Amino acid sequence: MVDLDELRREIVLAVSQSKSPREFLRDRRLRELYDQIKSLPPVERGSFGKQINELKQAVEQAIAVRLEELEKVDLKPIDVTAPMDVNSPKPELLPSEQGTIHPLSAEIERISEIFNRMGFVTEESREIDDQFHMFESLNFPKGHPARDDYDTFMTEETDSNGDRLIAPAHTSTMQNRVLMKYRDNLEKGEAIAAIVPDRVFRNEDLDARHEHTFYQVEGVYVSRRVNVGNLIATLQEFLQEYYGKKLDVRVNPFYFPFTEPSFEFALSCPFCEGKNPDCKVCSGEGWIELLGCGMIHPNVLRAAQIDPNEYTGFAFGCGIDRLVMMKYGIEDVRHFESGKLDFLEQF
C-alpha cells in the first residue's frame, strides 16, 4: 500500500517547483490510488477513499498557491508571431502553451472521484462498436422498433456477422463488457460496481439543448438483493455531493428495453428550489428530468452469464453535458464543442 503522507509531500513539492502545476491534477499516481479501492475489503473502502480525497485537496491547494506565485512573476513581453528558438537551451514558454482543462474533462474527473469514493470503478468506452454490444446484449433483438429511437451513425465497414459498425449512441454499450469483466466479484461475495463516462454520438438536429457529440456516464451495480431503493439512494447521494446541497428526488415510470422496471429520474431544482416561477433551468416547475434508470433486465444479466434468479442490479445513464450546464448555468450545449476561447477561459 502506498504511503499517502509521503506521496502528498512528494507531489506538493513537485507542484511548488513546476511551471505547469495544473498537470498534476491528472497525475497517474492519483488515478492508481482510486483503482486500489476496489481491491480493499468493503469496510476499508470509505476510509481509504476519504484519505485519497484529502490528498487530492492538498494537491489542489498547492496548485492554487503555485499559480498565484507564477502570476506575480515579471515576464518579459513575448512576440507571439515570432517562431520559438527551438535550439535555445531554455526556449521561451509561449502563451499558447498555458492551456486550461476543458470543463467537461474537469467535471468527468469530479464525477469519477465521487463514484470512486462510493466504491465504483471507472471504465472507458469506445468510439466504434458492434451492434451486439449496442443493442442485442441490452435486450434489443434484431428488428426491435426501439432501435430506431437511437438515431445511430453507422459505418460502411461491417463486423464478422456482416452487421455495420456504429458510433455508440450511449455508454450502455459497455454494460455487457463490464458485467463479464467483473462477474467473478459475485462469486467472491463482492458487488459489480462500475461507471463508464465517455463520448457518445447521435444524429440530432442541433440546437441549444441538442448536440450530435456529447458525454454520458453509465452506472452499473449488481449483487444479491439489490432493489430500487438502492438505486434511488445511490443517485441521490451522488447528485447531492456533486451539487453540494440537499436535494429531493422523484421517479416516474418509463420504458427502456434493458431495464425492468424503468424510470425517469428527476431532482428538485438546485438553483431555485422550486421557489422561482421564472427560473430558466426548471421553467418554474421546481423539478428537472435528469436521467434514465432502472433495474437491470434479466435478459441483460443472462447475456453476461449471470443468473438473474440469484443476482439483481440497477443501471443508469446520465448526460454529463447537462449536469455541467446546470451546475454552471450554461445556456447552450454547443459551447462545449465550439472551441471558443471566451467560453473555455472561464474555466
Confidence (pLDDT) at 155: 81
Segment 233-241 long-range contacts (CB within 8 Å, at least 24 positions apart): 234/118, 234/314, 235/265, 235/291, 235/293, 235/316, 236/267, 237/118, 238/114, 238/115, 238/118, 239/267, 239/290, 241/114
Three-state DSSP class for residue 215? strand
CA pair distance 260, 233, nearest whole angstrom: 18
Confidence (pLDDT) at 95: 47
- What is the radius of gyration, based on Cα positions, of the chain? 23
Confidence (pLDDT) at 269: 80
Show me where the domains of the chain are located: 4-86, 103-125+173-344
The answer to whether 161 and 133 have CB atoms below 8 angstroms apart is no
Distances (CA, A) of 165 to 130, 133, 168, 173, 267: 5, 11, 9, 12, 36
Three-state DSSP class for residue 146? helix
CATH (one of 3.20.20.70, 3.30.930.10, 3.40.50.970, 3.10.129.10) for 103-125+173-344: 3.30.930.10
Confidence (pLDDT) at 327: 83
Confidence (pLDDT) at 289: 84
Cell of 73: 512573476
Confidence (pLDDT) at 74: 52
The answer to whether 256 and 292 have CB atoms below 8 angstroms apart is yes
3-state secondary structure 31-79: HHHHHHHHHCCHHHHHHHHHHHHHHHHHHHHHHHHHHHHHHCCCCCCCC
Confidence (pLDDT) at 310: 96
Classify 105 in phi/psi space as left (phi over 0), alpha (psi -120 to 50) or beta. Answer: alpha
Kindly give the confidence (pLDDT) of every residue in the chain, 347 residues in length, as a single tens digit, with 9 standing for 90 and above. 668 888 888 888 988 888 888 888 777 888 788 778 878 888 888 888 888 888 888 888 888 888 888 877 655 565 656 665 555 555 544 444 556 788 899 999 999 999 999 999 999 998 898 988 888 999 988 877 767 666 778 888 888 788 888 888 888 999 999 999 999 999 999 999 999 999 988 877 777 777 788 899 999 999 999 999 999 999 999 999 998 888 888 999 999 889 999 999 988 887 777 777 877 667 778 888 889 999 999 999 999 999 999 999 999 999 999 888 888 878 788 888 887 787 887 77
CA pair distance 270, 236, nearest whole angstrom: 12
196 phi and psi angles, rounded to 5 deg: -135, 95
Give me the helices (H) in 188-297, please. Answer: 228-243
End-to-end CA distance of the chain: 35
Strand-strand pairing, 192-201 and 164-167? unpaired
Q: Considering the entire predicted model, what is its pTM?
A: 0.69
